[in-house]
Structure 1
Amino acid sequence: MTWQNALHDYQLYLKIERGLSANSVQSYTRDVEKLILFLEENEIKISPKNITDETIQQFIYHISKEVNARSQSRIISGLRSFFDYLIFENYRKDNPTAILETPKIGRKLPDTLAIEEIDLIISQIDLSTPEGERNRAMLETLYSCGLRVTELITLQISDLFFPEGFIKVTGKGDKERFVPINIETQKFIAIYIKQIRVHINVKKGFEDTLFLNRRGKQLSRNMVFMIIKELALKAELGKTVSPHTFRHSFATHLLENGADLRSIQQMLGHESITTTEIYMHVDKSFLKAVVEKYHPRK
């Protein structure tokens, strides 16, 4: 078994059996590709079946000079998954990453925006332009529904169920979920569709795509990042703001106003409640208020 054969089979496994998105598959295989490159550069001729923990440790020591602890941890996790797959397919009996210690990393709390800061960013949009109406609808949707940027740009008109008050979101691994959408955001989307989008020369294949660029095609992830970055600079917030910041803020504001974690987990599309817990940065005053409100011994 060659490394390339093993990597190709692993990619198919991630895509077909685990149902991961193209971005996730690429992220997993990138870690293995780093190991392959290390072996080639050092002329270490060893197969995926026979590589030892000693060689893996040499590789980790090598990359530790180039990347931070968080990246090292991610690479080790990616390799562990790859070798678990080889064990699953009976190519190996052991995982050479099993004895590796993952670098200790501090918990990185997500950035968030106050409601006033979100309003300030949105107020910077030039609504005299067609793109302005589109951008307002996009940002309101990001904050109103807590979407990932990929979920936003792939949102379809047929995914809008306004009479019921929901939108259908296709998340990681093509898993679908229904997320509530408020009346105000529905209004901004309707304005964009009826007054702006109707005048765009929509290219074939994008007839159902909600948010379009000037050429009538789906917006790119980078374009959404750029739009938000420019608006944040105009607002002079002094913060790094991205599409994910709106998602963090959506979840945090729900939690601070009394929403339960399970409901937030469902709306964010997290498989594990643990992910949702890490996502939140709950201050002690909020936790104190929860105990005072709900515990029988107040």
Structure 2
Amino acid sequence: MDYAEVFEQYDHEIRLFIVYMKDREYSKETQKGYLHDVKHFLISLDGKSVKEVTDIDVMYYLTEVREKGAGPRYRNRCLSAIRLFYKVMVKFKVAVSNPAVEIEKAKVEKNRQPTYLQKEALDACLELVHGRHIIRDITIIALMAYAGLRVSEIVKLNVTDFDKDNSRIAVLGKGDKWRYIPLPIELNQLLQAYLASRLEPWYSKETAFFISQRRGRISKRMVQTIAEKTFTTLLEQYPQFAGKRLSAHKLRHSFATSLMQNGTDLRTVQELLGHEDISTTQIYTHVTDEVKELAMSKIHPAIPLLLESVKC
């Protein structure tokens, strides 16, 4: 079964799901992600009626997702999407019960330390950017590395979101929530330099801050490609990162880590990153532990010599 067949057989169910998410004001990113996950789940049913699905069918699909290489976080997102889908089906009496409601989420390592780049490597990233649209691409890397923007936030950024006079940008984050990020003078100047060279969009009313070669709003994939090309060059100069998964999101990790290393309190880091829950920000607290250990390693108390003979 392919996408076309899924839409043909489950058209009513999919429409109900979409209408429900819109009515409940789920963010566009969440709607897109959940719809993608549910479509693939429906494909796996191979024509089986929605009301005939059991918990075994859901577990079989989630196992298949893991066996194809997906991590526990993606597996859990699929489960959340299926749960919500069936919540909607039960609500509108398409199904009698929710087969996903009792399935447990996969364990996710909460204390995993994120991969990040130190300032030297971040600065090198900007120097290594090359290509036809070098000022645009440097600006994109800089906003992720020194202002913590997500890839999706880079894409959604509009010209009107940049306030050069007050040196700040308005960022539309997850859940369609706005946050304001003050910009260092260097970033302010860089953004102004980019705007001076910004391609003229085909559509005169296009407000996108970053314009693609096709003269439209830049895509997520293009932003990721810009980061990937930069990291490929970086690995040639910094072999210590060999084997580590470097991606555009690691620039955001690096920004957060830099804040923590500079003594920024956790609540401020949460605000700058746009995390709804501070527990998400706490993955960066390992940095403060490293700083403490380094600080303590430089302390050499003058313990009286007579204590050397004392056995504890």
Under a length normalisation based on structure 1, what TM-score does the superposition of the two structures give? 0.80
Matched-pair contact (CA < 8 Å) for 1:251–1:280: no
- Kindly provide the amino acid, as one letter, of the partner of residue 159 in structure 1: D
* Residue aligning to 1:73: 76
Contact 1:38 / 1:59 at 8 angstroms: preserved in 2?
A: yes
SS of the equivalent of 1:164 reads: coil
Structure 2: stretches of 5+ with no match in the other structure = 1-8, 296-312
* Aligned with 1:190 (options 186, 189, 192): 192
Determine the structure 1 residue equivalent to 2:17.
10
Q: Mean Cα displacement is larger for which, 108-117 or 59-68?
A: 59-68
- 1:217 partner amino acid: G
Select 1:139's aligned residue among 135, 138, 141: 141
1:139 Cα deviation from its structure 2 partner: 1.9
Pairwise CA distance, 1:249: 0.9
Runs of 4+ in 1 over 6 A off after TM superposition: 287-290
- The 8 Å contact of residues 32 and 78 in structure 1, kept in 2 or not, is answered as yes
Quickly say closer, same or farther: Cα 1:267–1:174, change in 2 above 3 A.
same
For the residues of structure 2 that align with 1:281 and 1:93, how far apart are their CA atoms? 47
Which position in structure 2 is the counterpart of 1:294? Answer: none
Decide which of 268, 289, 294 is 2:273's aligned counterpart.
Answer: 268
Q: Which residue number in structure 1 is paired with residue 302 of structure 2? A: none
Q: Highest CA radius of gyration, 1 or 2?
A: 2
CA distance in 2, matches of 1:152, 1:80: 30
Residue 247 of structure 2 aligns with which residue? 242
Query: How far apart are residue 112 of structure 1 and its match?
Result: 0.9
The one-letter code of the counterpart of 2:261 is: E
Counterpart of 2:217 in structure 1: which amino acid? Q
Q: Distance in 2 between matches of 1:130 and 1:68?
A: 35
Q: CA deviation at 1:105?
A: 4.0
Q: CA deviation at 1:97?
A: 1.9
- How much does 1:250 deviate? 1.0
- Which of 140-149 and 55-64 deviates more? 55-64
Is 1:32 matched up with 2:38? yes
SS at match of 2:179: strand
Structure-2 change in CA distance of 1:280 and 1:3 (3 Å): farther
Distance 2:96 2:291 in 1: 48
Residue type matched to 1:18 in 2?
Answer: E
Match of 2:308 in 1: none
CA drift of 1:115 comes to: 0.7
Work out whether residues 201 and 215 of structure 1, in 8 Å CA contact, stay in contact via their aligned partners in 2: no
The aligned counterpart of 2:226 is 227
Cα deviation, residue 185, structure 1: 0.3
1:83-105 alpha-carbon deviations (Å, 9 max, x no partner)? 23344556666432233233334
Match of 2:181 in 1: 179
Q: Distance in 2 between matches of 1:57 and 1:35?
A: 11
Partner in structure 1 of residue 121 of structure 2: 117
How far apart are residue 157 of structure 1 and its match?
1.7
| C-alpha contact (below 8 Å) 1:166/1:181 kept by paired residues | yes
Query: Which residue of the partner structure matches residue 159 of structure 2?
Result: 157
- Structure 2 equivalent of residue 258 of structure 1: 263
TM-score (structure 2 length as normaliser) = 0.77
Q: 1:38 to 1:168 in 2, by over 3 A?
A: same
User: How much has 1:54 moved relative to structure 2?
Assistant: 4.0
Higher mean displacement: 156-165 or 215-224 = 215-224
Letter in 1 for 2:20: Y
Offset of residue 109 of structure 1: 3.7
